[in-house]
Structure 1
Amino acid sequence: MKLTVNLGANSYPIYIKNNILSQVDTYIHEAFRGRKIMIISDDIVYPIYGEALTARLADWECYHIVLPHGEQTKDFQTLPQVYEAMAEAHFTRTDMIIALGGGVIGDLAGFAASTYMRGIKLVQIPTSLLAQVDSSVGGKVAVDLPQGKNLIGAFYQPSLVLIDPTVLDTLSERFIIDGMGEVVKYGCIEDAELFETLASHTSFKDLKKVLPEVITRCVDIKREIVEEDQFDTGRRMLLNFGHTLAHAIEQHFNYQMQIHGEAVAIGMYQITRIAEERGLTEAGTAERILNVLNIYRLPHKCGLPLGSLTKAISLDKKNMHGTLNLVLLHDIGNSYAEPSSLQFFDEPKRMI
């Protein structure tokens, strides 16, 4: 399956195909005419796929950086290691980075590509379900600060995205579950039929027989939204459903408790509960979300008082001119941005 993100001069193809990594050189030749490639990966993914990928890239001068896995790596202080490795290898603006890994590696490598020599080519090869359905597409790249997640970032589109669903076979169960948080999000915000497909299965194992189609549908939704709103000033905000609470939860626990998709699941359910109570979402919607979260063993609460998260929420990137643009649902498959404020979360003792 080939999809194309049509953004004029910044357009690029997305290929979704089983075992596509065994043909990676063919696709790289289409996208890249330079000489050097830097593979940025982590200490879980690179030992599985790094050597095979490098062998397929024999036509180029290849280097690699292997970073510790986990959100802690997506830190502003990690960037100098990446820049120094490229400088020592004499990388120029005609060379390229390949991000081989999940969302953390994709975001960090993408930000490095956007800033090294004011921008070099980038290829995303996502190896987690979350990265395949969401973060590898659309050009959002970023690193974290102690004050909040993704506070240092840019919009920088890749030249190519290669998605191989078979690599998910090497993921631990927790990271499959994590990715399902973003899959459920797409059904909630844009596609009631996708949501019903998810609800009609009994587990991820049961869903796996249609997984390539599910991945393709999620990517196609994101492609269409990004084409309409590349820079996140309008409709693209809808992709952040659940994220206002999720990012605050992740930061509260210093990225040591819930991983991103788990936190998104909590955020989607909890914000929908609040919205229902305030008449902003159709009654029963939160219960429908909860039922799907249970099927895929995603969490729906984290045991924190809401008041402990308001400081982090105030730094949310959708907080503009004192207005917090919350992403809510009218009902399943029908989302909208609601201009609000921190008062929406003014129940400090409420447990979420």
Structure 2
Amino acid sequence: MEIKFAIALAIMLTLLAPVLAQNSYIPLELGGDNYYTMYGSPDISASISGTDEFKRGDTVTLYLDLTNYGRIIGFKQDQMPQNSKEYALASAELEEENKKPTALGITTTLVSRAPQIEVKSGDQVVESLKSGDKTQFPLKFTIKIGEHAPAGEYPLHLNMTYDYQDNVRVYASKLVTEGGTSTFSNYRVSYIYQKANQTVPVTIRVKKQADFVIQNTTAELMVGGKKQEIHATYRNIGEDPVRDAVARLSIFKPFSSTDDQAFIGNLEPGNETTVLFRMDVDSDATTKDYGISSEIKYTDLNGDTVISESMKIPVVVKAASSSLLLPAVIVLIIIVAAGGYMYRKKQKKA
């Protein structure tokens, strides 16, 4: 028996459009017969597509696939068909009821409760996802890994809201059979929808690596001074040791130096070392606070050369102190002259 499901589908789409657009639901009062009640709903899982491991300090794209594992888990017959028209209607309703696990208008929001992980992108939307299907293209979320985020696992939460078909009612004024083909007259399908919320966990990992901070600095320089000392203490707060580490500065005016690199050597996690730089300051430098960028170039556990994130060394430039040499010389001359005068005076008396 062939039923014009194309008509039913057109009616369904016409009725479904305002539901998705306005978040309203088609009420049961639209009428029709209810032969079955189906039990089940969508059940959406999320998985990471590609890598789940990232470096601290990076801004990256996280790709997520959605899969709908929802299914029909049971049904109840609410009304027993009594004639050929009702049997045909019951069959048509059953066809529509089996679409219950399909998720419609899925809105996804990625949330991080860890301060070291920041989600930079907004909501992602999937039009629909049938039972057993996976999204054709992964969802894309931009996340920022904290500059000093410790290595390890970080749980994220993917919050989802969607609609799904809760019940179906069918109606036809009569069943017309011609030439062995049966069709409904005035066929109508009424859909009732439910809104659902679902949260699924997503876990990312931050790689183990060395990581550095500046613990202490001594950097008070004078305008016009030459080879003035800057002391900086670097600490490895990461998880991996480093070899052949060298600290180096990024120099800009009014600073200059021929000694802007300092050898650190090997530095284990939790250890620190203090290095010395020498700096010249221009004679026309402005007296104020500066920040000189520094970085550490080192060899990691894989033998690769790595350059750390930039770290600022606070530097204070002060006015040059007045020299005490000239006043001292003048005082000495005065003392010598006075002494000579007194000596000559005594000689004359004698």
Per the TM superposition, whether the score is higher than 0.5 is: no
Larger proportion of strand: 2
TM-score by length of 1: 0.21
TM-score by length of 2: 0.21
Structure having the larger proportion of residues in helix? 1
